[in-house]
Amino acid sequence: MSNPPETTVTTAPEPIAECPHCQKPMPLCICDSVTPIEHRLGLLILQHPQEQDRALGTARLTARHFTDATVRVGLSWPSLSKALGRPVENAARWAVLYLGSARAADLDTEGEIVALNRKGEVAENQRAILGKLEGVVLLDGTWSQAKALWWRNPWMLKCQRVILNPAHPSRYGRLRREPRRDGLSTIEATATILAGLERRPDIAATLHASFERMLARYREVQAEMPELAPKPAAKDRRRGASRGRRS
Ligand SMILES: [Zn+2]
């Protein structure tokens, strides 16, 4: 028995710095390329505490694009005003994007943004409802996490529920299967809803360009530093999933 030579003493790997804005590891951060844009509607993103996909998550990157955007991490808040951190006079003028069991494809509607009534049906007078909105609440997380946020925050029933009927599939492609039940990431959902409500196609173009840059950076880093950008967990639970180990 002999002591190992001192040269084999291992040092802990340097921790990789995290961006204070998007909270991604610095190699994945694209914040430098983002210039906040002026906009009319408020934006509140409520993130489920277990939504911790720092590599592919988009909530904070989305908020970074706007001069009036708030991200809160948690499960429940007593009111919209508390969640937002400022008084809201009329919660009905804030939309909550929540698909739930509704399916845009089943509803007889053409718009990309659809206001629902309390019964989950297409509301009458879409244009009037959507035209008077002052802000938008997005639920960031998987479908079941969004559902938990919806049920734990009864004040959302006072808001205007909306769903999206996206014209294009998500740019995540195969990187992330079903990030939301309507197939869109938070940054894409924000692009659709804010550009639509404000009639500002430039908002959608800016957010989509940032999302493309984020995905491109992710793919580069995944090739060079796989530990920083792990492949998303496979949702495929078929028995053959572990067959690779046999060979
Ligand atoms: Zn960043």
Task: Please give the pLDDT value at position 175.
Answer: 64
Q: Is residue 200 part of a domain?
A: yes
Question: Which residues touch 34 (CB under 8 Å, ≥6 apart)?
Answer: 61, 64, 65, 210
Q: What angle do CA 84, 123, 163 make, to 5 degrees?
A: 50
- 169/242 Cα distance (integer angstroms): 30
Give the predicted TM-score (pTM) of the model.
0.84
Distance 202 CA to ligand 1 centre (A): 22
200 is written with which tokens?
């500002």
Task: Please give the pLDDT value at position 181.
Answer: 47
Distance 117 CA to ligand 1 centre (A): 38
Distance 245 CA to ligand 1 centre (A): 37
Distance 196 CA to ligand 1 centre (A): 26
Distance 23 CA to ligand 1 centre (A): 6
Q: Is residue 30 part of a domain?
A: no
Q: Is residue 232 part of a domain?
A: no
Split into its structural domains, the chain has a count of 1
Out of 27-31, 163-167, 190-194, which region has the weakest mean confidence (pLDDT)? 163-167
E-assigned strands of the chain? 42-47, 69-73, 94-97, 113-115, 135-140, 160-164
Query: Per residue in 111-150, is it b (16+ CB within 10 Å) or e — as a string?
Result: bbbbbbeeeeebbeebeebbeebbbbbbbbbbeebbbbbb
76 is written with which tokens?
């429940």
Q: Is residue 12 part of a domain?
A: no
CA nearest to 222, candidates 170, 175, 171, 179: 175
Distance 193 CA to ligand 1 centre (A): 23
Q: Is residue 130 part of a domain?
A: yes
Distance 52 CA to ligand 1 centre (A): 15
Q: Is residue 114 part of a domain?
A: yes
> Is the distance from CB of 62 to CB of 186 less than 8 angstroms?
yes
Q: Is residue 244 part of a domain?
A: no
Residue 103 sits in which domain range?
Answer: 40-170+180-224
- Give tens-digit pLDDT for 93-109: 999 999 887 766 677 77
Q: Is residue 229 part of a domain?
A: no
Distance 61 CA to ligand 1 centre (A): 7
